[in-house]
Amino acid sequence: MSMSKESVMSASIGSNGSKAVGTFENLSLDPSLLRAVWDSGYQTPTPIQARAIPLALEGRDVLGCAQTGTGKTAAFALPILNRLRTSPRGGPRALILTPTRELAAQVAESFHVYGRHLPLRSSVVYGGVGMEPQIRQLQRGVEILVATPGRLLDLMGRGHVKLSGVEVLVLDEADRMLDMGFIPDVRRILRSVPARRQTLFFSATMPPSIRTLAAEVLNDPVLVEAGPRAKPAEGIRQVIHCVERSQKRVLLTHLLREHRIERALVFTRTKHAADRLAQHLLREGWRVGALHSNKSQSARTRALDAFSQGSIQILVATDIASRGLDVAGISHVINYDLPGTAEDYIHRIGRTARASATGDAISFFEPGDREILREIENLIEMRLPLEPELDFSAKGTDVRHGTRATITDAPDRNRRRRRRPQHRHLTSAREVPA
Ligand code: AMP
């Protein structure tokens, strides 16, 4: 990264060169887009939208540091739709690359929703499903193409898509692409995209390798951040339960009943554990689905649809669902197993309290989890309150029917908590350094 570029970017942090914009009407968007925004029920732009949309409309390259849940999709979709709205039809003029099929589908749906009053065609291509329907759509012509890198390269290799007309490129969740090993594919795709273009680059985190990639693909970018990088949404109540591994199922069932959970996303560490837990819950009479990368694309889509529509209450998933998944009304995220990284914790719990709603994030903590818990607490800069421990081993205690469970001595955290019952409450904005 050249010095000048870096200094432009860091000088832009926080102020990013644009005025604060309080309403969508002030954003100079086409009336048809404003109508679509109103149809969606949005009252005011989210911070990333208020900052990124004016810059993108000016044609600037944008480096957006934002997690899902911040409204970042509209932050790039609205200016793209605005730019393409009056132009002639042809091959793809906007290309959006995403790491996962689920995110690709959601981004494509957003373009569909925001662009519903415009005569633009969008299409989405990802792997794991037949190529033919995607080829047919491409042959009919699309202005906006959303794609995962592998399938796009396949289609390019077979001559079904040409990127020489791309004017705007979006890299969405670039850090996730890095984690999933897609950066070489992204670089190959970039070689087919004109160098003269607008690039909008979004990433939840900015490790050095992402900064390097950003410096390669962006031209004189402006950095915009949706608040502090590692801050969970303020509407999320977070707690931990200290539990032996052998008691996790019982605790989960207890909580599901106790909290009258309507729609819960439960994370396990492995695909196998997700399947086994889903089976167990099914036997207990819950309406449940499982989501992980061993499932076929159609099974994943079915599970997500059923979860969105409420025909299943509990979705047991691996970290494949921790980013990008956008289902409204998830009341609880339960970390049945804590994630491998502190950042994944933030992504997971961000599935609840979407777009300023509230939600609960409950994490199961087992004795071997001390290190990761410490990392999580360091990252979010707060202590997670520990719930009183429930003893499910006592004879005659039928936790499934909510009979009083006894509180036992938990490790040091509980003792500290008893001495200092006024533990900090996590939803207080003052607890989180701005
Ligand atoms: P995203 O970060 O793009 O995944 O968006 C998260 C959620 O916020 C989605 O459900 C959007 O529909 C919703 N959303 C986006 N922009 C707004 C807005 N300005 N006001 C309220 N909700 C929004």
Query: Is the shortest distance between the CB of 123 and ligand 1 below 6 Å?
Result: no
Over residues 270-285, mean pLDDT: 96
Q: How far apart are the first and last CA of the chain?
A: 28
Q: Please indicate whether the domains covering 5-226 and 236-407 agree at the CATH topology level.
A: yes
Tell me, using a 6 A CB cutoff, whether residue 71 lines ligand 1. Answer: yes
Chain segment 194-204, per-residue pLDDT in tens: 999 999 999 98
Closest ligand 1 atom to residue 43 Cα is: 20
Distance 354 CA to ligand 1 centre (A): 7
Q: Is the pLDDT of residue 246 over 80?
A: yes
Element (H, E) at 53: helix 47-57
Q: Is 355 in the pocket of ligand 1 (CB under 6 A)?
A: yes
Mean pLDDT, residues 83-110: 90
One-letter amino acid for residue 365 of the chain? F
Question: Is there an atom of ligand 1 within 6 Å of 99 CB?
Answer: no
Per-domain residue ranges for the chain?
Answer: 5-226, 236-407
Of residues 42 and 152, more confidence is placed in: 152
Distance 93 CA to ligand 1 centre (A): 24
Alpha carbon distance 36, 114 (integer Å): 5
- According to the model, what pLDDT value does residue 215 have? 94
Q: Which atom of ligand 1 is nearest to the CA of 72?
A: 3
Q: Which CATH superfamily is domain 236-407 in?
A: P-loop containing nucleotide triphosphate hydrolases (3.40.50.300)
**Identity of the residue numbered 266:** V
Mean pLDDT value of segment 73-85: 97
How far apart CA 307 and CA 327 sit, in angstroms, is 8
Is the confidence at residue 17, as pLDDT, over 60? Answer: no
pLDDT tens digit sequence for 357-412: 778 999 999 988 999 999 888 888 788 999 887 776 654 343 333 322 322 323 34
Distance (Å) from CA 75 to ligand 1 centroid: 9
* pLDDT band for position 101 (cuts 50, 70, 90): very high
Three-state SS sequence of 246-294: HHHHHHHHHHHHHCCCCCEEEECCCHHHHHHHHHHHHHCCCCEEEECCC
Choose which residue among 27, 172, 354 to substitute to test ligand 1 binding: the one with the highest number of ligand atoms within 8 A of its C-beta. Answer: 354
User: 342 vs 99, which has greater pLDDT?
Assistant: 99
Q: Which CATH superfamily hosts domain 5-226?
A: P-loop containing nucleotide triphosphate hydrolases (3.40.50.300)
